[in-house]
């Protein structure tokens, strides 16, 4: 970093916007470790979401063949185009605009979009992602069945990738300082570690069940019947064949949900 982020903000007369999750990384050692963890090769294309003042972007550009950065705030998009001309800066909302093909994602994510962004990422082909999340969110990503943090997110992440918390990053590594610590997380896609007949149906069953994670499977499915069956009657017809139906949703492993989804398949079809 040539100039400290606080000073750049002052010079540009920019006040960070809370609504866009603007907490800038001011600890250059964390930025270096972040980029190291991504293990970028010289032929890689890297996608960064929310480059802000370019603390990570600059380091990424030194290592990658090509860096594409998607930034929602026009003030930063303009600043980056000028200060890092080799980087392709796209101004827009990373949740809605089309992403280019990429090998690696490295980003300090705005916390408001962590969940939809992660689900969107997991549906794309890529080799590795190293992302900064709020600490609690990262804990939910790796949570095990039966724990308070276990959620639709934990199941979705487990189904599609390996996921590891690399380090806890204290809140004072950012400006303005957020209220909670962060975590650097590495995701690497891999095939589901258990058989899934129909991934779309699996995701629909996960969505329906986790609307009511404390209910039993059968009651959860009754509440969410629209997502998994053509009618209530069709669901009731198949329920006796559904395994684990008296267990609570929050206690089911991703594999067990897979067996439920396969049994439900008959109700939908
Ligand atoms: N990468 C910078 C850093 O580490 O200092 C900034 C990180 S800051 C946590 C998040 C950045 O994401 C901000 O620059 C913000 O403007 C941008 N942002 C917020 N919502 C966005 C969205 N929907 N799409 C793209 N960028 C977004």
Q: pLDDT, tens digit, for every residue of 107-160?
A: 999 999 999 999 999 999 999 999 999 999 999 999 999 999 999 999 999 999
CB 8 within 8 A of CB 37: no
Q: What is the pLDDT of residue 268?
A: 53
Distances (CA, A) of 23 to 26, 61, 95: 9, 21, 19
Pocket test for ligand 1, best of 34, 50, 115 (most atoms within 8 A of CB): 50
Count of other CB atoms within 10 angstroms of residue 217: 24
Q: What is the CA radius of gyration of the chain?
A: 21
Q: What is the pLDDT of residue 1?
A: 44
**CB-based contact 240:263 (threshold 8 Å):** no
Question: Residue 267: its pLDDT value, please?
Answer: 54
| Residue-level pLDDT at 4 | 85
Pocket of ligand 1, beta carbon within 6 A? 20-25, 49-53, 55-56, 70-73, 76, 93-95, 108, 110, 113
Ligand 1 mean position to 229 CA, how many Å? Answer: 39
Please name the residue whose Cα sits nearest to atom 12 of ligand 1: 50
CA of 112 to the centre of ligand 1 (A): 10
* pLDDT mean values, one per 10 residues, the chain (269 residues): 80 90 95 98 98 97 98 97 97 98 98 97 97 98 97 96 98 96 98 92 94 95 91 93 96 96 73
If you take atom 11 of ligand 1, which residue's CA is the nearest one? 50
> What domains, with CATH codes, occur in the chain?
4-189 (3.40.50.150), 199-268 (1.10.8.100)
- If phi > 0 it is left, if psi is from -120 to 50 it is alpha, else beta; for residue 150 that is beta
């Amino acid at each position: 970093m040539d100039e400290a982020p606080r000073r750049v903000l002052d010079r540009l007369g920019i006040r960070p916007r809370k609504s866009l999750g603007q907490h800038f990384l001011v600890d250059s050692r964390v930025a270096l470790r972040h980029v190291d963890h991504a293990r970028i090769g010289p032929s890689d294309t890297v996608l960064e979401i929310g480059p802000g003042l370019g603390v990570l972007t600059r380091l990424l550009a030194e290592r990658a063949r090509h860096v594409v950065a998607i930034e929602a705030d026009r003030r930063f998009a303009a600043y980056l185009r000028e200060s890092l001309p080799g980087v392709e800066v796209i101004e827009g909302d990373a949740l809605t605009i089309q992403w280019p093909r990429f090998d690696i994602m490295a980003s300090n994510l705005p916390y408001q979009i962590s969940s939809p962004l992660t689900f969107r990422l997991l549906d794309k082909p890529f080799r590795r992602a190293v992302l900064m999340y709020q600490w609690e969110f990262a804990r939910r990503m790796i949570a095990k069945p039966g724990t308070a943090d276990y959620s639709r997110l934990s199941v979705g992440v487990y189904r599609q990738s390996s996921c590891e918390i690399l380090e806890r990053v204290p809140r004072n590594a950012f400006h303005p300082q957020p209220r909670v610590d962060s975590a650097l997380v590495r995701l690497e896609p891999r095939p589901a570690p258990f058989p899934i007949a129909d991934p779309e149906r699996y995701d629909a069953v996960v969505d329906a069940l986790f609307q009511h994670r404390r209910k039993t499977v059968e009651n959860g499915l009754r509440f969410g019947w629209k997502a998994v069956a053509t009618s209530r009657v069709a669901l009731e017809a198949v329920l006796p064949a559904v395994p684990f139906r008296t267990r609570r949703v929050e206690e089911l492993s991703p594999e067990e949900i897979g067996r439920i989804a396969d049994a439900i398949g008959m109700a939908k079809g």
